Chain A
Amino acid sequence: MLDGRIQELESSLLARITSARSAEELEAVRVEALGRKEGALTLIGKEMGKLAPEDRKRVGALLNGAKQKIEAALESKGRQMADAGLRVRLDAEWIDLTLPAPGPRRGHLHPMTHIQRELEELFVSMGFTVLDGPEVETEYRNFDALNIPATHPARDAQDTFWLEGGNLLRTHTSPVQVRGMEKLGPPLRMIAPGRVFRNESVDASHEHTFYQIEGMMVDRNISVAHLLYFMRIMLTAIFHRDVNVRLRPGYFPFVEPGFELDLQCLLCGGSGCPVCKQSGWVEQMGCGLVHPNVLRMSGIDPEEWSGFAFGLGITRLAMMRYGIDDIRLLQGGDLRFLEQF
């Protein structure tokens, strides 16, 4: 009698659990089945006492089995419902990640800054100090101390901006050599990147304001062979590839001997192309052994010390590196240009 009721209850409750659609509905089934006072199975449990002892054990087992099945079904169904709820909630949180992020975009460093930083890091890694000098220089440091007295025709080659009061805008970064020697004394390794000025009309390939890097090493017994070695190492690092260089006579009053340094054309590898005017070589920079007069004027004894110096036009380097065909862009302040770097 009870057996039949238990089995009937069990299957009907299990069916209702399966078909329950909400947490409330499920709770109602739980109360109806297992509620402490009125739960159908609870009530059956209370009737157990009336059974004959021989039936009590069997019916008890049957009842417990039904309770366990229903509890398990309730829990499983409850978990299913919670999972489904979370899924729905999270799904509602869909966003479009292809939308742009708010806030400003990263800005851009000037192409000359990129080149200067790269060169500074390179030279510091080789034990060079980075020195700064003023943009306004004395005639003495810009010319005389570099072995270019007032009567020297080399002054013609550097069209100078003169300032009221007799000073000038430096025409090269070489005066920083003088400052470096005065400040650091020998032995020394220094570079001086910076802005220089020449009184020239501006067009696509000429600027009155441009950038140079000056370098100098003063030590004992520095030779042309050392200069050659160093220039090759340096240019290999600058161009990120093996380079070949050659020296030929060049005239700069602050070095003796002075050289023009040619780089084997990186485009054609030396076989000749329009860039190197079919010569296989491209004029790259001036360099030389520091003139003893220059050492002496900076208080260094040329019998004891010697050195090499070089000057590199980094505006041109930047133009080569980035393929910039109009020098005016560099100081034009046009964001359409600057944002490319």
Chain B
Amino acid sequence: MKFSYNWIREFVEDLDCAPGALEKLVTMKTAECEGIEVAGALLDRACAARVESVEPIPNSHNVKAVVDAGRYGRKTVVCGAPNCRAGLITAYAPIGKKVVNGVESDGMLASGAELGLNRDHAGILELDAQVGAPIGGCVPDSIIEIDNKSITHRPDLWGHLGMAREVAAILGHALKDPVRPDLLPQGAGGIRIQIEDLDLCPRYSALVFENVTVQPSPLWLQYRLTAIGVNPINNIVDMTNHVMAELAQPMHAFDADLLKGGTIFIRPAKAGERFRALNEEEYTLDPSNLVIADAAGAIALGGVIGGLDSAIGDKTTRVVLESANFLGSSIRRTSSAIKLRTDASMRFEKAQDPANTVRGLARAVELLQELSPGIRVAGGVADQKKDIPAPPPIELPLDWLERKLGRAVEPAEVRRILGQLAFGVSEPKRGVFSVTVPSWRATKDISIKDDLVEEVGRMVGYDSITPQAPLVPTAVPPENAERRFQHQARQIFADQGFTEVYNYSFLSEDTARIFGFDPAAHVRVTNPIASDQALLRTSLQPGIWKNITENQKHRDTFRVFEIGLEIHKPEVDLTAEGILDLPDEIVHLVAALYDRDSDGVTGLFEIKRAAECLLPGARVCPAEARSFEHPARAADVQWRGETVGRLFELHPSLVEAGRAAVLDLDLQAVERLAAVETKYTPIRRYPSSAFDLSVIAGLREQVGKLESAIASFAGPLLESIQFVREYSGPPFEAGRKSVTFRLTVGSAERTLSSEEVGTIRGGIIDGMRELGYELRV
């Protein structure tokens, strides 16, 4: 939102604060200023000038003009405007000398756009003025840009008067209200108004004007609008924009002769109702859109945009001027549904003040008298409105205010601040103010005493508050064990050479299919940023796969891992309110080891070793491979009796060159299982005995299973069993291998005798023979 400093100055008495200083004050006390631009910089030097003679310049579109430039004397300028002709009164600006087309040009003849008065750069200005006179009484201005986000809660700050009120309060100056309610005509309304739903349209006010002349606005008005970024159109439309920029009250003018019937209806659109808007777009509406209609159909999309068919044109002589109030949320919904944000809709969204409609009309009457000489009001103000009770006063205890701010403010100062911001203040009880809220702050912004803390706080200045240490009881914060465990896991994997990546939570349907996931089993984004980011990930593996694919362009071998959330669609369909339950979010760790020149074996065992760093004693149990896993290299990871993850090689068809081993752990389960208390067991005092056993087995028999079998036969005196080696080849027949284990046995109470050790060993041999295994002893 752009604010004109000169415009604000009209409302603040004796404004003596320069724009730069004012911008800083407003930023600190009201809303964030994004910068200042100068508008009409040339206007203080430009003046009206008469073109005395014009002669062409050979081989150029430009002409050489001699002008009488008032106090600047006679000047020769090169001008390219098609309307530059002898006798014309135009604008001269002394911008220095330069040689153009071989002619020394001293200054320039200026178009409206060059002076910043309007957007017309088709030709130089054509003025009706004395030579030497200033241009249309316009002077340079400073335009202060306010960040729209910082005034979404302030309907009043969408007009200059609202900002002027802030400035007056900040500086302690008086505020002048430009509205003269006495100008409103009395008597029966000039047109009938029928509002169907007073919640959607709490107030609709209108005036009918006759004997209207539609013509360009005077330069001062064109300049004023252009300076704040509004395009001048004609006197009637420019007037509505002027009132909107001044009072934050959007208005719309209809050509009265193009309306059918004598009533204006404010009603929901009919399903499929079509509407041609001023922007020459045609919209198909539905009942969630509020329309302004005549007997024939929609003439405006309420609070958003007017209709093309009833627009003001050159031939317009009678005007219906609308000044209405609409429910912010309804305007917002319509505006976002048809993807059209206008100056009007932006304001109405912020919950404008219903009391402001007739103020706007009063201001319009005054302006139109100047802009369209001879204009007459036909009838009185047509006005239908909802009965809105005044909000109850807010009780503001001053000691409470002091506790909230952390500093005391003199009661007189509180009263002054609130008073300047147009709050009504009384003190029914000593130390407790009773505060009434002005209508333009009561729509949404201010309803409780906490809101008043801000009003007082910002005006006394937050920099006047001395920082103070909060005195709170000592307390040990409850621990977040899950998060601590995740950090441990992170550190372990980083220490084992894995580099952490963060991948997106989104997944494409195509990728889901590559991994054999059913897209329908995923939580789906209804408004994805791109079609390939429409699903929420149920696995971190596709992301890691992408990391592998991309990084193998630069690296022959690498290790990566990610800790993140799997998001699983809930099983139950809908809650009572018809809303899907929140999905299950499960923390997973996925690690991968890529090696370009490898058969993949080392990588798998290396990643298994890394897993054991986090899960000491984990077991890996070969399992049926899924579509994206190497069919002979996939296994479940078990720890403390539960399956907690998966270890596999990515199917070689998914890896362009080389091999990738992948580990996927359910960290939520792992964290739960990790939570065991450590208890000391005494170190054994008696020596233990060790012996080796070799089992002959089929080539694809799992060492892990043989080990468990042997351990089960060894009995309670087994201290440990360790794999030593496996061997195939002579003297073993093809398809057989020998697997050697070292067993250590012992007792906490005594040294085992050689007979006892022999018995254990014999028991294992017998047990294994029962299972059909031969042992080499």
Contact between B465 and A224 (Cβ–Cβ < 8 Å)?
yes
Contact between B505 and A225 (Cβ–Cβ < 8 Å)?
no
Chain B residues within an 8 Å CB radius of A331 = 502-504
Contact between B403 and A223 (Cβ–Cβ < 8 Å)?
yes
Chain A residues within an 8 Å CB radius of B750 = none
B526 within 8 A of A: yes
Contact between A166 and B580 (Cβ–Cβ < 8 Å)?
yes
B482 within 8 A of A: yes
The CA of A109 and the CA of B497, in the complex, are separated in Å by 10
The contact of B536 among A131, A136, A225, A230, by CB within 8 Å, is A136
Chain A residues within an 8 Å CB radius of B503 = 331, 333
* A 106-146 contacts with B by CB, 8 A: 106-110, 112-113, 117, 120, 124, 127-132, 134-139
Chain B residues within an 8 Å CB radius of A339 = 499
B467 within 8 A of A: yes
**A188 CB to nearest B CB, Å:** 9
Contact between B482 and A138 (Cβ–Cβ < 8 Å)?
no
A215 within 8 A of B: no
B180 within 8 A of A: no
User: Which has the most chain B C-beta neighbours within 10 Å: A130, A131, A253?
Assistant: A130
A165-B149 in contact given A135-B505, A217-B472, A230-B470 (Cβ < 8 Å): no
B513 within 8 A of A: no
Contact between B468 and A335 (Cβ–Cβ < 8 Å)?
no
Chain A residues within an 8 Å CB radius of B404 = 223-224, 289, 306
A129-B480 in contact given A153-B152, A256-B450, A339-B499 (Cβ < 8 Å): yes
B626 within 8 A of A: no
Contact between B465 and A225 (Cβ–Cβ < 8 Å)?
yes
The CA of A161 and the CA of B536, in the complex, are separated in Å by 11
A167-B580 in contact given A153-B152, A257-B457, A335-B551 (Cβ < 8 Å): yes
Chain A residues within an 8 Å CB radius of B336 = 156
Contact between B470 and A224 (Cβ–Cβ < 8 Å)?
no
The contact of B477 among A124, A132, A230, A335, by CB within 8 Å, is A124
* B 437-469 contacts with A by CB, 8 A: 448, 450-451, 453-454, 457-458, 462-463, 465-469
Chain A residues within an 8 Å CB radius of B12 = none
Chain B residues within an 8 Å CB radius of A108 = 494, 499-500
B708 within 8 A of A: no
The contact of B462 among A112, A131, A247, A336, by CB within 8 Å, is A247
A260-B467 in contact given A167-B582, A199-B529 (Cβ < 8 Å): no
* A 249-289 contacts with B by CB, 8 A: 249-251, 253, 256-260, 289
A239 within 8 A of B: no
Determine the residue in chain B with the shortest Cβ distance to A128.
B477
The contact of A107 among B151, B407, B453, B496, by CB within 8 Å, is B496
Contact between B467 and A161 (Cβ–Cβ < 8 Å)?
no
Number of A-B contacts (CB under 8 A): 249
Contact between B473 and A165 (Cβ–Cβ < 8 Å)?
no
**A284 CB to nearest B CB, Å:** 13
**B661 CB to nearest A CB, Å:** 13
A162-B403 in contact given A229-B468, A257-B458 (Cβ < 8 Å): no
B31 within 8 A of A: yes
**A287 CB to nearest B CB, Å:** 11
Contact between A249 and B458 (Cβ–Cβ < 8 Å)?
yes
Contact between A225 and B468 (Cβ–Cβ < 8 Å)?
yes
Chain A residues within an 8 Å CB radius of B487 = 117
A195 within 8 A of B: yes
The contact of B567 among A132, A136, A292, by CB within 8 Å, is A136
The contact of B332 among A120, A135, A156, A228, by CB within 8 Å, is A156
A85 within 8 A of B: no
A338 within 8 A of B: yes
Contact between B483 and A165 (Cβ–Cβ < 8 Å)?
no
Contact between A189 and B477 (Cβ–Cβ < 8 Å)?
yes
The contact of A226 among B30, B406, B497, by CB within 8 Å, is B406
Chain A residues within an 8 Å CB radius of B31 = 249
Chain A residues within an 8 Å CB radius of B574 = 165
* B 479-497 contacts with A by CB, 8 A: 479-480, 482-483, 487, 490-491, 493-497
Chain B residues within an 8 Å CB radius of A246 = 28, 462-463
Determine the residue in chain A with the shortest Cβ distance to B555.
A335
A157-B152 in contact given A127-B475, A165-B580, A248-B462 (Cβ < 8 Å): yes
Chain B residues within an 8 Å CB radius of A109 = 490-491, 494, 500
User: Which has the most chain B C-beta neighbours within 10 Å: A108, A113, A163, A229?
Assistant: A163
A89 within 8 A of B: no
Q: Fill in one digit per residue for A175-205: 1 if any B CB lies within 8 Å of its CB, else 0.
A: 0000000001001010000010101111000
The CA of A217 and the CA of B473, in the complex, are separated in Å by 12
User: Which has the most chain A C-beta neighbours within 10 Å: B328, B472, B483, B546?
Assistant: B472
Chain A residues within an 8 Å CB radius of B472 = 127, 187, 189, 217, 219
The contact of B579 among A130, A150, A151, A167, by CB within 8 Å, is A167
A134-B502 in contact given A107-B493, A163-B526 (Cβ < 8 Å): no
A291 within 8 A of B: yes
The CA of A338 and the CA of B497, in the complex, are separated in Å by 13
Determine the residue in chain A with the shortest Cβ distance to B328.
A151
Q: Fill in one digit per residue for B285-311: 1 if any A CB lies within 8 Å of its CB, else 0.
A: 000000000000000000000000000
Contact between B332 and A153 (Cβ–Cβ < 8 Å)?
yes
The CA of A107 and the CA of B493, in the complex, are separated in Å by 7
Contact between B494 and A106 (Cβ–Cβ < 8 Å)?
yes
Chain B residues within an 8 Å CB radius of A164 = 523-526, 580
Contact between A107 and B580 (Cβ–Cβ < 8 Å)?
no
A298 within 8 A of B: no
Q: Fill in one digit per residue for B386-410: 1 if any A CB lies within 8 Å of its CB, else 0.
A: 0000000000000000011111000
Could you name 27 residue pairs across A and B whose Cβ atoms are closer than 8 Å?
A: A108-B499, A110-B500, A136-B536, A153-B349, A157-B152, A161-B528, A163-B524, A163-B525, A163-B526, A164-B525, A165-B523, A209-B504, A217-B472, A219-B470, A223-B404, A226-B470, A230-B470, A248-B28, A249-B454, A250-B150, A251-B152, A251-B153, A256-B454, A257-B450, A259-B462, A260-B32, A333-B551
